[in-house]
Structure 1
């Protein structure tokens, strides 16, 4: 069967939206599943809905990559957005045509082409998602390298070439999942300017004429379709083969931090995507919303749900007690601590329920359980403390989730793989966390409930404070943990409702 290409689509009589030729307005560092299911999708919609008439030229951030495969298919690939919306199963298929090509800068031709795009009059935007490790300063990078090994090093080379060709500054959108991603990237570029002794005029160009924006990206992207039977069925249905087929969830949100005037460059507002992709002067409330509601829900209920016998998130959403516990925690204890518009928070929380109920994704509770100590501190504790400040009492569900956390960590054997513990049903599981945390719980494995809770609450290296100083908290956790031992986590959840 022929691979996906413009010629193949013409031969099979495809009549969906396509944009074959357009200016390369975006230089994108990263060609993996996430960017293709997220950034390139939004630009594709902008082409269709706003006549943006732009293409994204992709760059492999590391030597092994997808450039050859992408170019074989004229930049085309099939995207499935799958999930649950208002309880209904959704599988939207779209051929993405916003990608022009992909360059491999580790080959001389690819490096030279990257520099040609850098100096182009058409270029307006640079986008990156080079993983959390991508934004880092590597002093071993040299200006003469073709290319510099680090992404910020490559970006500095690209911007310098643009500067030397007297082209206007560009808009830089960082999508890496680190705090202050845009600012951290600019910081790295300035370090290379200093290290490479580049002229003051270029430093001024980067810091005053270019705009480095932080952004918050939110879409779960499982990526490839792994079932050979489903791949065969789709090929038969589509009349083409597409090894670059990508899969993401239906929900998608891109919050870009910057001045409203960025909408003059970005096409998303004109395309009517303002509830999906938008510019805001401060994205911190949206990050807080995501961390406390989406991530906080995960950390708040999955450990108790796992001990109650569940294995994947979707099944938890079909259990009225577990889902009820999660919802009570979110609606009664988390949302009241947040400052965004109430309807916005309610809509986002409803979307979280749909996302957790995704019929296409088997999200394992054990994968969410990794590093739950730091996750509880970052995702749940701010809501816990905020609720106490607001209402001067303990939030029942969040307090219970802390007891679930302790119970989950009550292991009996420390191995190289982690701390081994046993579920009530008798099967074992292995807890993954920092070694010092696992050693702490192993050293306290024979403690009474009261002594264990005291040791956990007073461990300031875990929480940054002594939790026994919060009135009534230690006693409440002891009481709940005792009830968990007697009745199990499921019954304790039920009593919270």
Structure 2
């Protein structure tokens, strides 16, 4: 069977009528540098740029930089940047499916093999936009980063080195700054990224002129993204290949719903005219309400349920929502423990929660918990912990479901071994691999070394987990009653299994 690539797209191949396969845009310049080549960005930002190009509103393509040493760039280049995106769901009460070959990516670069290729992009005056999604664990300060490394290890380190090269190449021209859009799901993502780049520039001893240029000539915008993207549909891949008539190793799937909230000057709408293409992109002077609503309800429900569902042998989000016990757990967590303490309009939050649960039930989206569990430790801190702390502060009590979700996440890492970023464990459906930050994996292993099979040692394990300020940002043992309840839940899950432990929580 043929493989999707430029030759296939520009040749005489007969694509199926329900697939939109436009011309290959050889004539469009590269205008965007994108850190991240995963399913989400390809089904979200790159799809949006493709829509702009189709309408002649942007006329530019994306260079993709692989953030980690191992990734999809080699396959992306084998397919000449092309991939098939399938969006499915309900629209105006009707079942809708859209299939399209996305052509907005020009090429991919692995910076660990060719850092100079990344720096050459800094010399291109037409590339003046940076977009990133390196997960919550990506925007971090790494004291080991160095300007002489090729490349620096962290994403902020790479970006700082990239901007310094651009500054030098264009001799500090203030018009050659970049528009930088962070899609990582952390609070004030653009502000945090800017702060780390400025810190690195200072610690690296880079010239004052560059630090001033970095601060004033570049726009680091805070953004919020929303689209459920399950990614590669492995169960359907063979059938879809037969229907499409070609193989696509980068086949991507997502829901129809999409929202991008960007906090920045509205005049930038003309630089990225998403509105003119009919896309759901909001420019605002304050994205805080949008972010709080989305992160705490949609992402919070995902992260709080992921380990429990996975340990219960439930594979997908839809199965969990429809599960007789996990479904009620998720709904009670959202309505009784998250919305009840979120300081926004309750009607708005309740309506959004209803929409979210409907999106979770989308029969055309196979969103696997195992993929949601990527970097789950940092996700819990960002998405779930704020609700837990707010509940405890406002109600002078520990929230049962949110605390149980932390116990389930801990239980996920109880038995297994660590290999770099991978935790290799055993679950109800056999061996599994979960990827997380190596420091987080070491933390979980050390936590379970406190456990000796007794209720007393479960309490010690709970205290160890909550006491790690480096992980959580504070010592959570100071939350009254949290350690005791967490210890009880840990002992229940380990001794009786997640199903029995969950029954007690629901009761």
Band the TM-score falls in, shorter-chain normalisation: 0.7 to 0.9
> Is the counterpart of residue 254 in structure 1 residue 266 in structure 2?
no
Unaligned runs of 5+ in 2: 435-440, 469-473
| Rounded Cα–Cα distance in structure 1 between residues aligned with 2:292 and 2:335 | 15
The separation in 2 between residues aligned to 1:73 and 1:385, in whole angstroms, is 47
**Root-mean-square deviation over aligned CA pairs:** 5.0
Change over 3 Å in CA distance of 1:82–1:166 after alignment to 2:
same
- State the TM-score, normalizing by the size of structure 1: 0.73
Specify whether residues 475 and 243 from structure 1 end up closer, same or farther in structure 2 by C-alpha distance, changes over 3 A only.
Answer: closer
Partner of 2:500: 488
Question: Is the contact made by 1:31 and 1:58 (CA closer than 8 Å) also made in structure 2?
Answer: no
Contact 2:306-2:369 within 8 A present in 1 as well: no
Q: CA shift at 1:103, angstroms?
A: 5.3
Equivalent in 352, 357, 374 of residue 348 of structure 1: 352
> Which whole-Å deviations, capped at 9, do the CAs of 1:286-338 have from their partners, x for residues lacking one?
44334422343245455666676745543222224432332133123311322
Q: Is the 8 A contact 2:33 2:129 kept in 1?
A: yes
Compute the displacement of 1:453 (Å): 6.2
Shift of 1:47: 3.1
Report the secondary structure of 2:62's partner residue: strand
In the other structure, the counterpart of 1:11 is 12
Query: 1:134 & 1:401 partners in 2: Cα distance?
Result: 25
User: Structure 1 residue 171: deviation in Å?
Assistant: 0.9
Equivalent-residue separation in structure 1 for 2:7 and 2:177 (angstroms): 33
**Which residue is 2:221 aligned to?**
213
The answer as to whether partners of 1:399 and 1:477 remain within 8 angstroms in 2 is: no
Q: How far did 1:126 drift?
A: 2.0
Output one character per residue of 1:266-297: Cα deviation in whole Å (capped at 9) or x when no partner: 222333324xx333334444443344223432
The separation in 2 between residues aligned to 1:146 and 1:354, in whole angstroms, is 46
Match runs of 1:26-425 below 5 Å: 26-48=32-54, 51-61=56-66, 70=76, 73-82=79-88, 91-102=97-108, 110=117, 114-116=121-123, 118-120=124-126, 123-130=127-134, 132-133=137-138, 136=141, 139-142=145-148, 150-152=157-159, 153-163=161-171, 167-178=175-186, 180-190=188-198, 193-194=201-202, 199-226=207-234, 230-274=236-280, 277-298=281-302, 300-301=304-305, 310=314, 312-342=316-346, 344-357=348-361, 359=363, 360-361=365-366, 363-364=368-369, 368=373, 379-387=383-391, 390=394, 392=395, 394=397, 398-402=399-403
After superposition, the Cα gap between the structure-2 partners of 1:342 and 1:179, relative to the gap in structure 1 and judged at 3 Å, is closer
Cα distance in 1 for residues equivalent to 2:193 and 2:502: 45
Query: What SS class does the counterpart of residue 22 from structure 1 fall into?
Result: coil
Find 1:439's aligned residue among 446, 449, 452: 449
- Structure showing greater radius of gyration is 1
Provide closer, same or farther for how the CA distance between residues 237 and 218 of structure 1 changes in structure 2, counting only shifts above 3 A. Answer: same
Matches of 1:27 and 1:309, distance apart in 2: 40
For 2:130, what is the secondary structure of its paired residue?
A: strand
TM-score (norm 2): 0.71
- When residues 460 and 103 of structure 1 are mapped into structure 2, their CA distance, relative to the original with a 3 A threshold, is closer
Cα pair 1:86 1:354 within 8 Å, conserved: no
Q: Residues 39-97 of structure 1: CA distance to partner in whole angstroms, max 9, x if unpaired?
A: 11121223345x41322230434677666654565543211235677998764322212
Gaps (5+ residues) in structure 1?
Answer: none
The SS at the match of 1:11 is coil
Is contact 2:34–2:64 with CA below 8 Å preserved after alignment?
yes
d(CA) in 2 for partners of 1:287 and 1:163?
38
Measured in 2, the distance between the counterparts of 1:202 and 1:378 equals: 32
Contact 1:410 1:421 in 2 (8 A): no
**Cα distance in structure 2, aligned partners of 1:170 and 1:345:** 35
After superposition, the Cα gap between the structure-2 partners of 1:198 and 1:409, relative to the gap in structure 1 and judged at 3 Å, is closer
Give the whole-Å Cα distance in 2 for the aligned partners of 1:127 and 1:237.
Answer: 33
Q: Is the 8 A contact 1:314 1:357 kept in 2?
A: yes
The alpha-carbon deviation at position 434 of structure 1 amounts to: 1.6
**Are the aligned partners of 1:84 and 1:354 in contact in 2 as well (CA < 8 Å)?**
no
Q: State the aligned residue count.
A: 474
What is the CA-CA distance between 1:175 and the residue it aligns to?
A: 2.9
SS state at 2:368 partner: coil
In the TM superposition, what is the alpha-carbon distance from 1:369 to its structure 2 partner? 10
